[in-house]
Amino acid sequence: MSTRRKFLRSSVAGSAAVLSGQSLLAMQEVPYPVTKGNPIVISTWDFGKAANAEAWKILSAGGRALDAVEAGVKVPEADESNQSVGYGGLPDRDGRVTLDACIMDEQYNCGSVMCLEHIMHPISVARLVMEKTPHVVLVGDGALQFALANGFKKENLLTPASEKAWKEWLKTSKYEPLMNIENKLYNKENDPMPGGINNHDTIGLLAMDTNGQLSGACTTSGMAYKLHGRVGDSPIIGAGLYVDNEVGAATSTGVGEEVIRIVGSHLVVELMRQGHKPEAACKKAVERIISRSPEKAKQVQVGFLAINKKGEFGAYALQPGFTYAVKSGKEETIYKGKSIY
Ligand code: SD4
């Protein structure tokens, strides 16, 4: 199209926008052009690298972002050395491994399971909730019953290493979630929760496929040694994960209670809708946590990770120590997230 014709088209669209609400909506798409043909996957923490690699197999073959995010997070779910997600996850204070996961696609469909026991891949159960039921969330026994009815195998997810860590913790039963804070608040010698809590991470993974479609997944064993039945932000749509295919997607990690209070991931997406770049949107969400819980915010870790429709990404955390992994046609990188403190 000639420059002149392009100019005419945009000025017609511009004047129409003043007149009609519908055109105004169309105009809103301008800051978020779809980057077709440039798939990308981003995920929380260093171990996101292996998850990204799995997701990338699907994305680079032209597959759907939804399939990529599910395949990606299944890697840490099945990794017994990862004590914060799926199999091998640290148990609650009663010694039970209870898992939380959710998934969201490019059409605002979403599914979630909370406090699910005995199932290696809660993310796949969450996807089935989304695709095969009229519901969004299944919890506890109901989620397990649904999983078993759909062919999932009942397994023991408590590994000897996690059981040992839990028994060690039982000696003091002290619950102080100072997660992944890479500063004076934490050192191994005075670890209040020995046995892995300070390496306790959730995986939130966001992907854009070759068609420019976004999806996300988030899965965790939650806070180690939590009260039985406690659910964090991770499986809560809007808190631990949100995908708005018009604007972008966001996910979170850290102390879920603080994220739930501000509906963090949805907030990040709405801030991107208002024009903020992903990193700035994540920073503003972190600042919101500080403004809501100023004292608590100094003690705990929360990190947000986001991507917009241009494929731009960014992150921000309360404390130093938050990392995230990125894989695209251009790079395979682990970034250090910036932090307020
Ligand atoms: C939760 N947000 O259950 C999760 C835990 C987590 O890094 O992300 N840990 O609150």
Would residue 13 count as lying in a domain? no
Residue 36 pLDDT level (bands cut at 50, 70, 90): confident
Q: What is the 3-state secondary structure (H, E, C) of 271-339?
A: HHHCCCCHHHHHHHHHHHHHHHCHHHHHHCCEEEEEEECCCCEEEEECCCCCEEEEEECCCEEEEECCE
Instruction: Give yes or no for residue 4 having a pLDDT over 80.
Output: no
Establish whether 230 is an annotated binding residue. Answer: yes
- Which residue is associated with the tokens 């095969």? 132
Residue 285 pLDDT level (bands cut at 50, 70, 90): very high
Would residue 210 count as lying in a domain? yes
Establish whether 229 is an annotated binding residue. Answer: no
Structure-token pair, residue 267: 């907030």
Could you tell me whether strands 332-336 and 323-328 are parallel, antiparallel, or unpaired per DSSP bridges?
A: antiparallel
Ligand 1 contact, 200 CB (< 6 A): yes
Per-residue pLDDT averaged across 36-50, rounded? 93
Ligand 1 contact, 302 CB (< 6 A): no
Residue 3 pLDDT level (bands cut at 50, 70, 90): very low
Would residue 74 count as lying in a domain? yes
Instruction: Give yes or no for residue 147 having a pLDDT over 50.
Output: yes
Q: Which of 98, 198, 220 to mutate to test the pocket of ligand 1 (most atoms within 8 A of CB)?
A: 220
For the beta sheet containing 323-328, the strands, ordered from the edge strand earlier in sequence to the opposite edge, are 137-139, 110-116, 99-104, 214-220, 203-208, 40-44, 323-328, 332-336
Per-residue pLDDT averaged across 35-41, rounded? 88
**Residues spanned by the domain of 73:** 36-339
Angle at 89 between CA 86 and CA 91, to 5 degrees: 125
What's residue 118's pLDDT?
98
What's residue 33's pLDDT?
60
Would residue 50 count as lying in a domain? yes
Would residue 66 count as lying in a domain? yes
Q: Which of 179, 205, 223, 301 to mutate to test the pocket of ligand 1 (most atoms within 8 A of CB)?
A: 223
Structure-token pair, residue 251: 């996910």
Would residue 12 count as lying in a domain? no
Per-residue pLDDT averaged across 24-39, rounded? 59
pLDDT in tens, 107-135: 999 999 999 999 999 999 999 999 999 99
Residue 32 pLDDT level (bands cut at 50, 70, 90): low
Could you tell me whether strands 137-139 and 110-116 are parallel, antiparallel, or unpaired per DSSP bridges?
A: parallel
Ligand 1 contact, 305 CB (< 6 A): no
Cα–Cα separations (whole angstroms), residue 324 to 44, 221, 285, 303: 4, 19, 17, 10
pLDDT in tens, 12-30: 333 333 333 334 444 444 4
- Other CB atoms within a 10 A radius of the CB of residue 311 amount to 19
Q: For residue 63, what is the domain's CATH number? A: 3.60.20.30
Number of separate domains in the chain: 1
What's residue 8's pLDDT?
31
Would residue 24 count as lying in a domain? no
pLDDT in tens, 162-214: 999 999 999 988 776 655 555 444 444 444 444 444 445 899 999 999 999 99
Ligand 1 contact, 256 CB (< 6 A): yes
Would residue 297 count as lying in a domain? yes
What's residue 179's pLDDT?
54
Instruction: Give yes or no for residue 264 having a pLDDT over 70.
Output: yes
pLDDT in tens, 315-334: 999 999 899 999 999 999 99
Taking each helix axis from N to C end, the angle separating 278-292 and 264-273, rounded to the nearest 10 degrees, works out to 130
